[in-house]
Amino acid sequence: MTDALQTGADDREPSGLSGRDHERDCLDGLLAGTREGRGGAVMLLGEAGSGKTALLDRCAAAASGRARLPRCTGVQSEAALPYAGLQVLLRGTLDRVGSLPERRLRALRGVIAPDDAPAGDRFLVGAATLGLLDELAEERPVVVLVDDAHWLDLETVDALLFAARRLGMGRVAMVFAAREESAIRDGAPGLPVLPDRPTSPGRSPTRRDP
C-alpha cells in the first residue's frame, strides 16, 4: 500500500465495512492520487445502513493529519434552502482565498456569508468552489466528503458536481455518498460509481453503464 494517506496502523475492520474490499481499495487509490497531483471524484451508492457512512469515516481517518477534510451531510429539512450544504462545507475557508477573480469571490461570499453579498449565478458559484478547493490544495491535499447527498439542496449539488467534473491534475478528491435511487447520479455523468451490490461478470465495478 502506498505511504500516501494510508489507512493507519490499526488493521481491525470497522463495523459496516465487511465485504467492501473493492470500495476500500478504490477509495485508497483515490486518496493516494491526491499526493501525486491526480485529483478525482467518486460516488458511493447504496441503501440506508449499507455502510456508506462507514466508508466516508474510513476516508476521514485515512487522510486525517495529511489532508484538509471539508465534510457535510445532507439534511432533509434543509433540502429547500439554497446553498445550505455548501455553507456548512466551506465555512471558515474564505480567509484562505487569495487569487480568485473578484466576481467569483463575491459569489462565494454570498453563499457562505449571505449578509455580505448576493450569491450570484450558479456558474460563478461552481467555478468559485472549484477555485477555492484548488487554492486550499496548494497547502495540502483536500478530501471533500459528502454524506446523504440525496438530501442536499440542488444549488449545493450543482456547485459540487461542477467542481467534481473538473478535477484532474490537482490534489483534490471528492467522495459523495447517496441512496441508490437518488437523482443525484443523473447529474454526474462520467463520475465513477461504487455500487452497493456486487457487480456482474464483465461489467466495470466503478462506472455506470452508459
Across the chain, mean pLDDT equals 80
In this prediction, residue 197 carries a pLDDT of 47
Say whether pLDDT at 98 is over 60: yes
Whether the Cβ atoms of residue 146 and residue 84 lie closer than 8 Å to each other: no
* Residue 19 pLDDT grade (very low, low, confident, very high; cuts 50, 70, 90): low
40 vs 200: which has the higher pLDDT: 40
Q: Is residue 64 domain-resident?
A: yes
| Cβ atoms of residues 141 and 74 within 8 Å | no
pLDDT of residue 81: 92
pLDDT recorded at residue 72? 95
Total tally of structural domains belonging to the chain:
1
Residue 29 lies inside a defined structural domain of this protein:
no
Q: What CATH number is attached to the domain comprising 174?
A: 3.40.50.300
Predicted pLDDT at 105? 81
Segment 113-118 shows an average pLDDT of: 61
Residue 210 has pLDDT above 50, yes or no: no
Quote the CA–CA distance of 167 and 172 in Å, as a whole number. 7
Residue 33 maps to a domain: no
Residue 8: left (phi > 0), alpha (psi -120 to 50), or beta?
left
Alpha helices in 81-177 (DSSP H): 84-90, 102-112, 122-137, 154-164
Label residue 101 by pLDDT band (50, 70, 90).
confident
Please tell me the predicted confidence (pLDDT) of residue 147. 96
E strand intervals along the chain: 40-45, 71-73, 142-147, 172-178, 193-194
Question: 88-97, pLDDT tens digit by residue?
Answer: 998 878 776 6
**Domain limits at 54?**
41-194
Does residue 73 or residue 183 have the better pLDDT? 73
In the predicted structure, residue 112 carries a pLDDT above the cut 90: no
Q: Whole-model pTM? A: 0.80
pLDDT tens digits for 154-202?
Answer: 999 999 999 999 998 889 999 999 987 776 767 666 788 886 444 444 3
In a domain, 145, yes or no: yes
pLDDT above 90 covers a percentage of the chain that reads 44
Residue 202 belongs to some domain of the structure: no
Report angle CA 125, 110, 106 to the nearest 5 degrees.
70
* Cell 491526491 belongs to residue: 34
The reply to whether 45 falls in a domain is: yes
Q: What's the confidence (pLDDT) of residue 17? A: 67
Question: Do the domain assignments include residue 14?
Answer: no
Residue 24 lies in a domain: no
Closest CA to 100 of 110, 108, 90: 108
